[in-house]
Amino acid sequence: MDLANLTIAEAASKLRRGECSSVELTRAVLARAHAVEPRIHSFLARCDDTAVAAAADADARLARGGDANPLTGIPIALKDVIATRGVPTTAGSRILENFVPPYDATVTARLRTSGAVIVAKANCDEFAMGSSTENSAFAVTCNPWDVGRVPGGSSGGSATAVAAAECLGALGTDTGGSVRLPAAFCGVVGMKPTYGRVSRYGVVAYASSLDQVGPLTRDVRDCALLLGAIAGHDPLDSTSVDTPVPDYAAGLDAGVRGLRIGLPREYFVAGMQPEVERSVRAAVRTLEGLGAAVTEVSLPHTRYGIAAYYLIATAEASSNLARYDGVKYGRRSQGNGGLLEMYRRTRAEGFGREVKRRIMLGTYALSAGYYDAYYLKAQKVRTLIRRDFAAAFERCDVLVTPVAATTAFPIGARTADPLQMYLTDVCTIPVNLAGLPGLSLPCGFDGAGLPIGLQIIGAPFAEETVLRAAHAYEQATEWHRRRPQIGAT
C-alpha cells in the first residue's frame, strides 16, 4: 500500500478504519520526500520531528474516537510565505533567511486545530513574485513530470510536493495565478478562493488586494476538504468576509445538469499550444455531455489585465516590502555609512532581481506626477474587468478557460525576458483582479507527457458551484489518477 499517494479522503477513512496510523502516513511522506527532494526541491524547511509528534497526537485523538475532522492526522505542506510559529518562514528570500515568526498565520492555526500534520515549508518564488519558482533565493524547484522543466509558480514547491507525494495536500498563495498555474503544470488540483474567503493574517504580503491562500490537492474532493478547513471570517483580517462557510464536500456530487457554462472568447487566442486548446475544448464537450449548457461570452477588457496587474500588484508590493529594512528582524547588512547605507546594503543584498524590479515598478507607479496615469488608471481598468465578469455571470454559472497557453516550459526558458514570463499568467490574472474563485484541474497531457490544466471560474463566493463542476468533470475522466514517475537520485 502506497500511503504517500493516498488522497486526503482515502487516508482519512483508512485512519478511522485503523488501516494505518497518522505516524505511518507521516513517515511515508517523509520517506518519500527524503527520496525525491534531491531531484525536485519542493521544500525549504522540513519539520520531520515535530511532524511525527503531531501525527502521534492525531493518532491519540483518533484513538479516542468521535473525531470527525477529515484533516486529522493528514500530512500537509505550507508555502513558505505562510507564517509558522517556531519554524523558519523565509518567503524564498535572503532578506528573511533566518526569520522565525513568533506567531502562526490564521490558516496555519486553523490547520493545526483541524489536526493536520505540518510536514514542511514549500519553496516558492521570492515573495511569491514569479511564475516558475525560479526566483527563489534558495533553490529551483523541478517539475516531477520532467525535472528539466519548471513547476510553474509562484507556489511551485506546494504543487510539486503534492504531485510527487511528499505530502497529501498543500497550501499555496495566488496573487495572479500562483496556485492555479503550478497546479496545471504539475497535474494537480489548485484553487484560488474568492478574495476575502480565506484569512491573509500571517501570510507574507505581496499584493494585499490580490493575495489569497488556496489549497493544492490530488483531486477535487480533497480541495473541498482543505478549503473548508481554512475558509471563514477572521477578526485579524479586516478584508476577510463574514459569510458562512458551506460544507464544500457535501455538494460535490450534485452534477452539472443545467449548469450554464460560459466560454470567454478572449481566452482562446492565437499562440496557444494546440494540445492545450484541444484538451480544453474536449473538456468543455465532456461537461456538455454531462448536461451543462455551453455558450460563448466576451470579457472585452481581458487584454488590459496584465498591464493593470503589473501596476497594482507592484505598487502594493513596493509598500508591503518596505518593512524589510534591516532594523527589526531578518537580514541586516553592515556598513560604515550609517543608517542610509545600512538600508541600501540590506535591501540590495537581501532582495533578488525580480523583487527589486517589481519594487521599482511599483514605486514609480505611485510617484507624484505618475499616480493618476498609472496606479489610478489601473484601478479603473480593474473596475472594468470586474464588470466584464459580472455581466458574464448574469448569463452563466461558471466560466471555463485554459489555465495557461502552454504546458510547463524548460527551466531557464523565460528568465531572460521578464515580459514573456509575465504573459504566462494572462489567463489567471483577471480572476485575481476581479476577486473571483478560480480552480485549476488536470484535463489532459501533451505529446511530451506534460499535464494540461483546465480553469473553472465562479462568481464571488460561488466556490461550491466551481467545485461541483470540477468534480463532475473529474468523475467523468481519469487524468487526475496519473502520477509522475520520478527517477531516484
Partner 1 sequence: MSTSGTVDRAAGAATAAAEREALGRFEAVIGLEVHAQLLTHAKIFCGCSTAFGAPPNANSCPVCLGMPGVLPVLNRRVVEFAIRLALATGCTVARSSRWARKNYFYPDLPKGYQISMYELPIATGGGVDIVVDGAAKRVGLTRIHMEEDAGKNIHDAHGDASLVDLNRAGVPLLEIVSEPDIRSIAEAGAYLRTLRALVQYLEICDGNMEEGSFRCDANVSIRPRGATALGVKVEIKNLNSFRAVEKALAHEIGRQAEVLGGGGTIVQETRLWDAEREETRAMRTKEHAHDYRYFPDPDLLPLVVDERWVAEIRGTLPELPAARRERFVAEYGLPVYDAEVLTARRDVADYFEAAVKSTAAEAGAKVAGKPPAGAAAEAETKPAKGAAKPTAKAVSNWVMSELLRVVREQRLDDALTITNWPVPPADLGRLVGLVEAATISGKIAKTVWSEMLASGKAPEAIVAEKGLVQVSDRGALESAVDGVLAANPDKVAEYRGGKTKLFGFFVGQVMKATDGAGNPQLVNDLLRAKLGGT
Closest among 427, 436, 385, 422 to 402, alpha carbons compared: 427
CB 12 to partner 1: min, Å: 29
Under a CB-based contact definition with an 8 Å cutoff, are residues 58 and 29 in contact? no
**Is residue 367 involved in binding partner 1 (CB under 8 A)?**
yes
In this structure, what DSSP letter does residue 173 have?
A: E
**Is residue 339 involved in binding partner 1 (CB under 8 A)?**
yes
**Is residue 208 involved in binding partner 1 (CB under 8 A)?**
yes
Please identify which residue in 235, 410, 412, 449 interacts with partner 1, judged by CB under 8 A: 235
In this structure, what DSSP letter does residue 127 have?
A: G
**Is residue 237 involved in binding partner 1 (CB under 8 A)?**
yes
**Is residue 327 involved in binding partner 1 (CB under 8 A)?**
yes
- On the 0-12 / 13-18 / 19+ scale of CB atoms within 10 A, 68 is exposed
Of the pair 238, 489, the CB lying nearest partner 1 is at 238
CB 86 to partner 1: min, Å: 14
Of the pair 196, 402, the CB lying nearest partner 1 is at 196
CB 202 to partner 1: min, Å: 4
**Is residue 265 involved in binding partner 1 (CB under 8 A)?**
no
| Segment contacting partner 1 by CB under 8 A, of 114-122, 201-209, 251-259, 419-427 | 201-209
- CA dist., res. 487 & res. 184, Å (int): 21
DSSP secondary structure, 324-357, as one string = -SSSSSS-----SSHHHHHHHHHHHHHS-HHHHH
**Is residue 329 involved in binding partner 1 (CB under 8 A)?**
yes
Of the pair 348, 476, the CB lying nearest partner 1 is at 348
Give the cell for residue 216: 493544492
Of the pair 292, 431, the CB lying nearest partner 1 is at 431
**Is residue 371 involved in binding partner 1 (CB under 8 A)?**
yes
**Is residue 200 involved in binding partner 1 (CB under 8 A)?**
yes
- CA dist., res. 460 & res. 299, Å (int): 16
Give kind and range of the element (H or E) at residue 441. Answer: strand 438-445
- CA dist., res. 465 & res. 470, Å (int): 9
Under a CB-based contact definition with an 8 Å cutoff, are residues 410 and 149 in contact? yes
State the number of binding residues for partner 1 (CB under 8 A). Answer: 44
Under a CB-based contact definition with an 8 Å cutoff, are residues 385 and 433 in contact? yes
Of the pair 99, 445, the CB lying nearest partner 1 is at 99
Under a CB-based contact definition with an 8 Å cutoff, are residues 125 and 135 in contact? yes
Q: What positions carry a catalytic annotation?
A: 79, 154, 178
Please identify which residue in 328, 394, 478, 489 interacts with partner 1, judged by CB under 8 A: 328
**Is residue 363 involved in binding partner 1 (CB under 8 A)?**
yes
CB 103 to partner 1: min, Å: 5
Site string for partner 1, 98-137 (x = CB under 8 A): -x-xxx-x--------------------------------
Closest among 354, 152, 417, 80 to 362, alpha carbons compared: 354
Q: By three-state DSSP, how is residue 416 classified?
A: coil
CB 361 to partner 1: min, Å: 13
Of the pair 236, 423, the CB lying nearest partner 1 is at 236
Q: How many CB atoms lie within 10 A of CB 250?
A: 11
Task: Looking at residues 282 to 321 of the shown chain, list those that interact with partner 1 (rule: CB under 8 A).
Answer: 315-316, 318-319, 321
Please identify which residue in 68, 368, 416, 488 interacts with partner 1, judged by CB under 8 A: 368
Q: How many CB atoms lie within 10 A of CB 275?
A: 17
Amino acid at 316: E
| Segment contacting partner 1 by CB under 8 A, of 48-56, 219-227, 230-238, 479-487 | 230-238
- CA dist., res. 180 & res. 80, Å (int): 17
Give the cell for residue 117: 500534520
- CA dist., res. 120 & res. 122, Å (int): 6
Please identify which residue in 47, 83, 226, 385 interacts with partner 1, judged by CB under 8 A: 83
Residues within the interface to partner 1 (CB under 8 A): 81-83, 89, 91, 96, 99, 101-103, 105, 200-205, 207-209, 235-239, 315-316, 318-319, 321-323, 325, 327-329, 339, 343, 363, 366-368, 371, 375
